[in-house]
Chains A and B, each alone.
Chain A
Amino acid sequence: MANENKSVWTSISFWRRSAAWVTGFSAILLIWLTFDSVNQIAMGSDADLQKAVAQKREINRVPAPTVINYHIDYKMDEKRGHEVPVIGEKEPFFGKEWSPQEAAALLHLGKLTSQAKNCMNCHTLLGNGAYYAPDLTKAWLDKAWRKGGPLQAMTGKSTREEAMAEFLQHPSQYPTHARMMPNLGITAEEAKGLVAFLKHMSSIDTNGFPRNFSKTVEQFKTGGTNAH
């Protein structure tokens, strides 16, 4: 053929082959990175968690469900340049320490309930979902739920977890704004599970998202930090 392509740039077979190679290479790279990422975000064991607490260093990006037995904080890490979850002393969760089996079962119930109640179509979890209600990534750490915080005071409960569980069961009884959370028929057990799910989520290392979480308006005015 006299009219055969003289330039590689107008050759269909060149582009076809290039497309196949680039796609294949990208896909292989993604799969390879996925092996590493999945390994890093796999839920840790209770033993890892105990070791991490004792040595004051992080071992798993997503800790074991028993993290609900510990105090969780979110502090600036100078080396990494953003805030990271810090797992501290033991503290009771709903008045007791949960065994690995109990904690896992509670987290399972909570995660399942979060899907069954469609939380993600109003809230964001890890920043993903809908934008009609606050992000829940670090909701457990929100100052409003602490002792003396307005949300805890509103429910009349004396601990963070009980206040959150009470709110979840009867959300429209505790309106904070014109936009309210609807009653979703969440039972007492499901509410406990949801709070465990939220506490666990707050312990996930999210590379500093959300930044400067839950600075209050007052702190902002005085230029304070948000360390708990």
Chain B
Amino acid sequence: MLTSIKTNQFQGSESKKLAMMYFRVALILFGAQLLMGLIAAIQFIYPSFLFEVFDFSVARMVHINALVVWMLYAMIGSVYFMLPDETGVETVGIGLGKLAFWVLTAAVAVVVLVYIFIQVGPGKESTIWLINEGREYLEAPRWADYGIVVAVLIFYYNVFATYMKGRKTGIVTVLVADLMALAGLYLAGMFFTDNISMDQYFWWWVIHLWVEATWEVFVGAVAAYALIKIIDAKREIVEMWLWIEVLMLFGSGILGLGHHYFWIGTPEYWWEIGALFSSLEPVPLVAMFVHVLYDWGKEQGIAKAAGKPASIVKNGPAMAWIVLNAFGNFLGAGIWGFFHTLPQVNIYTHGTQFTAAHGHLAFFGAYATILIGMMYLGIQEAYGLKQLKATFKSKMAIFLIAFGVMGMTIALTIAGYEQVLIERAELGGGWNSYFVGQSMPWYVQAQIWRTIMGVITFIGFIYLVWDMLTIGKEQASAAADAQPAAA
């Protein structure tokens, strides 16, 4: 993948080259996310590890920020990759897009260095402008917020201008509308207030309306594109499904926001609204899962009937990650989210390891998977391969990462049960109750298992990077060797 900077065969598509630039940074940040997660996991077991040097708060902040940023990078990369195929024209404003990439990447690097080396500041406005804003997920200091807005505006202009110029497929239409909402929502997180309830009210506009609405629709659009690309799924069917998904995702996800408004000072009517709509959120995720398998089975059946040999899948690793996405999205976001979305349950589970369990499986299942799939599509095209087959390394990567994340999720769910029952239900929260819960043997055991599973995930990541660095080159040279023999 990295070697394809020079040897790519995109045949002049600057948009796809730019996509690969975004993918590379995304992969590096993914690695950073995992390392930070490991540090934080170790601190749960050995609290003195890096104490007052690199505290949990710092590791955790970089862990979740690297997560959000790598996903946004991979999402921008996916869009630049899809645009020429979907619109039939080269993306408009690529020069500007490249400039925005470098500006954004420089800003991300500075922000991360400040997080790591400066960490916290005095209780002044200058701290939230220059060091960190101290709001989970939106820690980026205000100067960086403005940088992000400018970079995203450039990106959005490119997408919109390309859309206006080229073919207006259903997939791009959904993307253009969705990205506008996604970018606009970021603004809801860019203000300071002394009122913590107001603060969290709009903080959730960004977090929830991203991950439980606009990002999900984005995944729907990307999956639609990938199915056409990988298994030649019929556009009419894929796009019809996409509109149904948009209907269901936004229909449940927008008002599903209410499940974050149970306990932050907001009125009681959010109990009913949040419970009802967020309970519906898994429905489109089931639909997306069914849709992927249905299309795959149908296209394979058609090919078989026509007497074509074996698999119709043009990109093995990408297809595997997309099927994993369909399942992981339903399981992590759908099932694990539904577990604790009703207020009757949530009053006890809110703010416990339960949330962490759901967060891990949902971010992985819903987003990491499909974005990795898109990176494999990028590699295939960068090497001009007609078919990309999964290697041993690809299989190890997907198996170890999926196993590791699932293991972490189960461990955190067990830790969550302990915490909920002991700290919350029996002892009613508070300092003492918190530490009683944290010291229960099964809680501690669960944290150890989480760390072990984290290490397994990281080993899977090493396989993933190794595979991405080599798979294209190996299969390109194999194809080149095979050609003269055939001729």
Please report A residues at the B interface, Cβ cutoff 8 Å: 10-12, 15-16, 18-19, 22-23, 26-27, 29-30, 33-34, 36-38, 40-43, 61-62, 65, 104, 107-122, 124-135, 137-139, 142-144, 150-151, 172, 176-180, 182-187, 190, 193, 197, 201, 204-217, 220, 226
Other A-B pairs beyond A38-B201, A150-B432, 4, CB < 8 Å = A112-B192, A138-B429, A177-B435, A185-B120
A135-B265 contact in complex given A107-B194, A151-B431, A177-B435, C-beta closer than 8 Å? no
Q: In the complex the two chains form, is A130's CB within 8 Å of B251's CB?
A: no
0/1 per residue, B415-450, Cβ < 8 Å to A? 000010000101111111111101100000000000
Residue among B119, B254, B261 facing the most chain A CB atoms (10 A cut-off):
B254
Q: How many residues of B contact A (CB 8 A)?
A: 89
Q: Which residues of B sit under 8 angstroms from A104, Cβ to Cβ?
A: 194
Q: Mark B120-137, 1 if CB is under 8 A from A, else 0.
A: 111111011001111110
A10-B240 contact given A132-B43, A135-B351, CB 8 Å threshold: yes
Q: Are A19 and B250 in contact (CB under 8 A)?
A: yes
In the bound complex, how far is the Cα of B192 from the Cα of A129, in angstroms?
Answer: 17
Can you list 30 contacts pairing A with B, beta carbon distance less than 8 Å? A19-B246, A22-B250, A41-B198, A62-B197, A111-B193, A112-B123, A112-B125, A116-B120, A116-B121, A116-B134, A118-B134, A122-B57, A126-B196, A131-B355, A134-B429, A135-B429, A143-B430, A177-B439, A178-B47, A182-B52, A190-B122, A190-B123, A206-B263, A206-B265, A207-B268, A209-B263, A209-B347, A214-B430, A214-B431, A220-B426
Does B156 count as interface, using CB distance less than 8 angstroms?
Answer: no
- Using a CB–CB distance below 8 Å, which chain B residues touch chain A? 40, 43-44, 47-48, 51-52, 55-58, 60-61, 119-125, 127-128, 131-136, 139, 170, 192-201, 203, 236, 239-240, 243-244, 246-247, 250-251, 254-255, 257, 260-271, 273, 347-348, 350-353, 355-356, 419, 424, 426-436, 438-439
Nearest CB on B from A194, distance (A) = 8
Residue in A11, A61, A197, A208 whose CB lies within 8 Å of B347: A208
> Are B428 and A204 interface neighbours, CB within 8 A?
no
A143, B431: Cα distance in complex, Å = 9
Which residues of B sit under 8 angstroms from A130, Cβ to Cβ? 56-57, 60, 136
> Which chain A residue lies CB-closest to B132?
A118
Minimal beta-carbon separation of B145 from chain A (angstroms): 14
**With contacts A12-B236, A114-B134, A134-B434 known, is A129 near B195, CB below 8 A?**
no
A-chain residues with CB within 8 Å of residue B270 when the two chains form the complex: 37
Among B196, B236, B257, B428, the most chain A Cβ lie within 10 Å of the Cβ of B196
Report Cα–Cα, A11/B134, bound state, in Å: 48
In the bound complex, do residue A23 and residue B251 qualify as a contact, i.e. CB atoms below 8 Å apart? Answer: yes
Give, as a whole number of angstroms, the nearest-CB distance from A112 to chain B.
5
Is the Cβ of B121 less than 8 Å from the Cβ of A215?
A: no
Q: Is the CB of A118 within 8 A of B119?
A: yes
Give the residue of A12, A27, A115, A210 whose beta carbon is less than 8 angstroms from that of B134: A115
Q: Which residues of B contact A18 (CB under 8 A)?
A: 243, 247
Q: What CA separation (Å) do A127 and B257 show in the bound complex?
A: 16
Q: Across chains A and B, which 8 residue pairs bring their CB atoms closest together, nearest first?
A: A115-B134, A113-B123, A212-B428, A214-B430, A209-B263, A127-B351, A15-B243, A210-B429
Smallest CB–CB gap between B385 and chain A, Å?
Answer: 32
A131–chain B nearest beta-carbon distance, Å: 6
Could you say which of A126, A134, A214 contacts B200, with CB atoms under 8 Å apart?
A126
Question: Are B431 and A142 touching (Cβ within 8 A)?
Answer: yes
**Known A15-B240, A22-B250, A43-B194: A187·B122 in contact at CB below 8 Å:** yes
- How many Å from the CB of A49 to the closest CB on chain B? 14
A62→B431 contact, CB < 8 A: no
Interface centre among A12, A38, A190 (most CB of B within 10 A): A12
Bound CA span A38–B55, Å: 35
A133 to B125, CA, bound (A): 25
Per the bound structure, the CA–CA distance linking A214 and B127 in Å amounts to 33
- Complex Cα distance, B51 from A189, in Å, reads 25
* Alpha-carbon distance between A112 and B194 when the two chains are bound, in angstroms: 8
Chain B residue contacts of A118, Cβ below 8 A: 57-58, 61, 119-120, 132, 134, 139
- With contacts A26-B251, A182-B51, A215-B427 taken as known, whether A12 is within 8 angstroms of B267 at the C-beta atoms is no
Residues of A within 8 A of B123 (CB): 109-110, 112-113, 116-117, 186-187, 190, 193
When chains A and B are docked, how far (Å) is the Cα of A29 from the Cα of B276?
14
B347 / chain A contacts, CB cutoff of 8 Å? 208-211
Is B131 a contact of A116 with CB atoms below 8 Å? yes
Q: How far is the CA of A143 from the CA of B433 in the complex (A)?
A: 11
Distance A124 CA – B264 CA, assembled complex (angstroms): 11
B264 touches A183 (CB 8 A): no
Nearest residue in A to B51 (C-beta to C-beta)?
A182
Closest to B122 in A: A116
Q: Are B196 and A204 in contact (CB under 8 A)?
A: yes
Interfacial chain B residues near A38, Cβ < 8 Å: 198, 201
Least CB separation from A191: chain B residue? B123
Indicate if the CB atoms of A131 and B136 lie closer than 8 Å: no
Docked-complex contact B197 and A204, CB < 8 angstroms = yes
Are B125 and A122 interface neighbours, CB within 8 A? no
Residue from A43, A115, A213 with most neighbouring chain B CB atoms (10 Å): A115
- Considering only CB atoms, which chain A residue lies closest to B173 in the complex? A16
The answer, among A29, A131, A133, A186, for a CB contact under 8 Å with B356, is: A131
The reply to whether B48 and A129 form a contact with Cβ atoms under 8 Å apart is: no
